[in-house]
Every structure is written in structure tokens, then in C-alpha cells.
Amino acid sequence: MSGAERPGASSAGRAGFLAGLTILELGDGIAGSGATSLLVGLGAEVTAVIDPTSPHRRARPRTSTTAGPVSLLPVILDRGKRIVCGDDLDVDGIKALLARGHGHGPFDLVIVDRVEGLRGPLAAVRDIPTYASFVAGANRRAWLSISAFGLSGARRDDLATEITLAAAGGMLATVRDASWGNPLKLAGYQSLLNCAQAAALASCHAVDLARDGQPAHLDLSAVEATIAMGPTLEIATVLLNTGGPAGAKRYGAPASFYRCQDGLVRISAMEDHQWRGVVAAMDSPDWADRFATTAARIEYPEEIDRRIGEWTSTLTKTRAETLLQSHGVPATAMYSPAETLESPQLRHRGSFEPVRLPGGLEATVVGAQYRPIEVERTGDVVAEGTGSPTGRRGRSLRGLNVVEASHVLAAPLAGALLGAMGAQVTKLEDLRRLDMYRRRGPYIDQVAGGERSAYFALVNHSKRSVAFDLEESRERLDDLLANADVVIENLGGRRATALGLAAGELVKHRPDVLAVSSSGFGQDGPSASYRAYAYNLQASCCLGYLTRNEQGEQAEIDLPWADLVSGFALATIVAAWAVGPRGNDGAGVDFAMADLIVAHFNEFIAAASLSADSDAHVDRANEMFPYAPNGVYTTEDGWIAISVADDQQFAQLIKILDSESLGNPEFADAQARFERRRVLDAVLADAASTWKAGTLARDLRAAGVAAEEVVGPRQLPESAGLRSRDFFTSVEHPEWGRRRLIGIPWRPFGQPAIALGAPPRLAAEAPEC
């Protein structure tokens, strides 16, 4: 084997659930690199073959060092890995690396990122039949292939970039420029990082399947992962025929941003008791009496927003946040990366860690995905990787007994994902406080009923239910917990502790169990008691601040992205614990969604830690250096996303559009195109305006240029590409019959989509364990 080796930037790592798992990363894209970064954080040992010409290795933000300009994103993603430079490797060199393994045998897992196509040493196996044959000959244990649209189906040969994934997955159509109305991508590389989060979970699934003695090869679609962590609630309106709008605003005002003296605060009062908290925080003004019911708040959102805006305008954003939270209202201020670095909560949790850059500079990022809970027990410490030796044993996802005491979205989704991978998941439903998604609409076929909530169905498939009054039936609860391998809860610290379900309490008595407590901001610290929906976390954890147009104006993001990403992350923690090759003791886990969401913007956090004016040097709107052009353009019948990576692709763009203006010498090279991107965008918009979006996208893709029609979420269920893979997966329910739900974004190569179980009916009796 040839290829220079070096360690990645050091990380404040610790032994984790995947200690002893060896991984080879190939393809050097953000999705694959992001997935292995997450797995390193869980204890895996990763060897990454990198390509110095990969676009993300030139991405912004960048910083100047004595070693030259450095892109922050790849440095962050390479932390803790063994790096092999692949610029002098060919496919035989990759085969030799696979044959040699990690020094003690074959790699346990190989992850290949082919979202933007295979370059460098794997270019020779770019086409799918050749690639499949290569995998069949090289795979000794587990293999995960990440491609734009999957290795099967009508779109299997197509490639994608961040912005075209967002277009194909409904994300671009969901977020709009507040001033101009054109689609905006989420800040950074969220579609690809969503794919990375799905790939980390799929990796654990592949490792589990390979234990049967036959190599496992899983096929992950990046666009399916984008959908699964994207506009799911709006897609449900079509899949389950709910009618009406989707998202937070269907519950009425206040559900928006409100201007304060020094910024914005996001208020999300979806329940009557939360509205009463808003009223109390405002000293109970007379005008609020008219809006005591949800129906009234749905009917008159403009007046409510105006009145609340008048009140918040008299406060600082932090004062508005703390006052509303003190009355039980989910409300958070919008914070920039620089403000986030000063977060008392993140500092209290020890969430920040240093990253050493080439040339000796040191930046700050958010590190661990979760925090282990240390518990004193009869003189011993029970924590991750330690504890009672009776707890350390080999496990599997299949048959893993999971008790899920949760509500709304993130933790229920984690349970559904684990159930689809073979775990026996029991949803513990408290008759005294049923899940909001169980008891509220929108309803399937617009018919109200306890078994007909569309959002409940969407994130509670593949599990069973047991329902009783948890306070009245403690013995029954104890019996259920006694047989659990894993307990996941997001009930809030006070209630979870009172019921004995909080991770810190449960592991005192059950050192063999994995107990996970999920919350917005963590189990302790100044913000531990804060209520938060996804929309609040998106405001406080940089997404709201960074997703903005070219003028710096923030966009409204009406999708529960933070919840969905957190659901996949929670499932990954549980899966890693179950499949860890050395076995794992029981452990307590404190999972704070805020840590995860801020980490999705670590390159911006790092830039802010290095420079006070970092805001001036980051991509805005749909910019994505070094791609140019890279944006969304009007067509005769809609919008098209186009992303050009190099001069060869730009030449093809000129040819397809037959545009003399695009051939202007001022656009001759990539750097010039980026520097003149405003002029270039205007010329390209004019050239695209006479085309139909689907036709132009098809012709550009055929010429090797990443391009996609901007598809609305409600169009996705009828997408030919998604239908060809049966991504929207059918279930049969006794109350509402056969319907499609959002499926699992990976499957065994060459096989059908992973089957889902129907959402559970509200069960009065406990299932047998």
C-alpha cells in the first residue's frame, strides 16, 4: 500500500460504546466523513482515505495559519481519525488496504461515500455494476454505501451536492427568503450532515447484521435521509390525508419570532397551559382573554402576534426568554455562534472542547454527542464503559428490549427506528398525561380519534404500547422495567425522577440497563428546566441566526428539524451500546439536544472562536464555496437548483443553456466565478427562465452537472424515483387501513425496503416481555 499517513486533529475523546470497532472510510465526502466522525465520538477506530481535492476541503469558513489557508469543516470532521492521503493510491492500493485491514484482522466496517461520485482511487469502480462486484469481492464483514439516490431505483446513477439534495428532498421548498420568496437552503451542510447522522445509525445496523456470519452490505440514499430529517410533517398531510397546514402554526399563535430590543425571541405556545404562561408573563393583559382557546388563537394569529410583538419590543431577548421560561413557556432567544460560545449552559455541561489546527492554532467546538451519568453505587462508579461486570455482555439490536417513555417527536422517533431494526420496543403511555401527538390532530382522513393522529402514526411505527396510570400502578411499572435492556425517556427531569425513570435514578438500581434521558438542554445547569420544541432549539442553537438571505435577514424555518435529527442521534447511541464489539455495561446517558444541534454548526463555532469578524467570511443564502454557480433559479414553471463544482461542469452548463453571456471570460475559472457570483447568478437566471425545471435538470444531470427541480414536500409521495424504491413504506392498521409512512433511508443492497410495523393502538394491558 502507498499513501501518506497522519493522525487527525486530536479530540478530547474517551472510550465509548463502540470501543474496538474498526472502520475504513472511503470516498471523502461530507456524509461519509460526518458519519465516521460521529462513530469516533462513540469510541470507534477510523482510518480515513482522503482526497485533498474534495470540495469540502476548500469550504468556508476558512482561517489563515502558518501552513496556509485551512478549511475548518474537514479539520473538525477528521478529529480522532488515522488519515491516509489517497492522492497516490489506485484501486489496487485500496484493495491492498482492505486486505491488510487494521493490523489485527479485517475492518469491521467499510463506509463509502459516493454522493458526488467516486473520485481518485475508486474512480475505476464508479458505475454501479462494477462497484457492486468490487464490494462483493472485498467485503469481509459489514459495508455501508452512501449514494445520492441509492444503488437501486430510477435515480441510482445520479449524483448530488448539498443544495441539490435539499431540492430533491423538499427542504429547499420549505424554507424561503423572507424578502424575495425564493427557496433557501439551511445554513452549512445540513442535508449532507443529516445523511451522516443516518449513516452512523445504519453503520450500527450493518455491524449487527454481519454477526450472522455473512457479510452485510447496506445501501443508504442521501435524499431519503434528507426527507426523513426534513419536511416530514408536511409530507404526512398527503400520506395520511389530514388536510390543512402542517407544522407549529397549525396550533395557532404564538408560534413565531418576535422582535426584542437587541434581537429576536422564538415563542412556541402549542398547548393551552403554555398560552396561560404567556399571558402570565405579560401580567395578564385584558386583551388576552379573547384568546383562551386554541380555536381562537388559530383564527386570529395576526392580532396575537402584533400584541406579543409590542410586549417583547420592550425587553431584551434574554429577558424575554427567561421571563417566559419561568412561566413554563417554550421560548428561546436567537443566538449567534459568538453568543453561543458564551452560553452558560454549554459551559456548565463542559460541552466545548479544543481542536488543534495546522500551524498550531486552536479553535473551539462542541464535542461529545452525549454525557455519561456517573452514579455512586455501593462505593463504585457506574458510568459508560465501567460499572457492574454483570452488565458487560454481547447484545444485538434484534430482540433488544426497549422501554420508551416519551412524547412528541425526538424520543418516539428513536424508538420507531430501533423497532424497525429489530428491537422489541414498548411505548409506555401514561393515561394521566398522554403524548400530545396521541391526543391531538391533524387526524388521518380528517376524522378525529385517539388512534387517528397523523403525527403519532408517523413517528410511532414498529413498536407496541402499554398504557396505565404510572402514578397509581408503580408495581406494574417496576415489572415492566425489570425486563428492559434499554429505557429512553424525555418526560422532563422532575416527572421522570418522581417515576424512577430518570437515567440518573434508574442506573442506581439497574447497573445492567442503558438508561437514556433526553431533553432540550440537559439534566443540569442554568437552562436544564427550560421547555423547548424543535423550533426553539433551532433559534437558540445557531440555525436560525445563520440561515439568512444575502442581506443578512433571517428566514422562517417551519419544520421540526432539530427533533428529527435528535431522534436519529438517540437511536444511534442505543444501537452503538447494543452492537459494541466488546460488550457494554449498563450506563446512564444525559442527552441534550442543544449539544447536538450546535455541533451541526461547528465550523461556524470554530470560526467565531478564532475571529470576531467571522460573520463576514461565511457563506450566506445559497452560497457554497467552492461551488459556483450554486443557487436556485426561476424557470418557466418553478425553480431549479444548480451546483457547479469545476470548469468542466461549467463548460457543460454553457453548452446545455447555449448562452454566450455565460461564456464571458470573467467567468473563466472557479475563483473568478465565485468572486463574481452575483453577476453570474443574474446571467444564469436569465438563461434558465425559458426552460421547464424538470427538463433542464434532466439535461444538466445527463451532462454531469448536479441539478434538481425544487420539489415541494407534498409532491414527494408521488416522486417516481422514491416510488421505484418504495421509500414510503406501507403498513396495515386496524383503525385506518393500509397507508404509507416515511420509511428507513437504507436497506440491504439489492433487497426491498425495510418493513415497518403499524403504529400501536392504545393498549390497556401490558404485553408479555
Per-residue pLDDT of 436-478, as tens digits, reads 899 988 999 999 998 999 999 999 999 999 999 988 898 999 9
- Give the confidence band of 6 by pLDDT, cuts at 50, 70, 90: low
% of the chain exceeding 90 in pLDDT: 82
Query: Which of 14-18, 272-276, 723-727 has the least mean pLDDT?
Result: 14-18
**Does residue 727 surpass a pLDDT of 90?**
yes
| Grid coordinates given for 35 | 458519519
Angle at 365 between CA 361 and CA 366, to 5 degrees: 160
In single-letter form, the type of residue at position 646 comes to D
Predicted TM-score of the model (pTM): 0.95
The overall average pLDDT reported for the chain is 92
Determine the longest span between alpha carbons in the chain, in angstroms: 79
Please report the pLDDT score of residue 571 as a whole number.
Answer: 98
In whole angstroms, give the CA distance from residue 763 to residue 769: 14
**Percentage of the chain surpassing pLDDT 70?**
94
Tell me how far apart the alpha carbons of residues 178 and 555 are, in angstroms, rounded to a whole number: 6
Q: Give the pLDDT score at 248.
A: 63
Look at residue 380 in the predicted model and tell me its pLDDT.
Answer: 44
Side-by-side strand order, sheet with 706-709: 630-634, 639-643, 706-709
Q: At residue 738, what are phi and psi to the nearest 5 degrees? A: -90, 120
What is the three-class DSSP state of 643? Answer: strand
Report how far residue 314's alpha carbon sits from residue 311's, in angstroms, rounded to the nearest whole number: 6
Burial of 752 (0-12, 13-18, 19+ CB in 10 A): exposed
Q: Does the structure show a pLDDT above 70 at 510?
A: yes
* Among 741, 409, 729, residue whose Cα is nearest residue 559: 409
**pLDDT at 5 (0 to 100):** 53
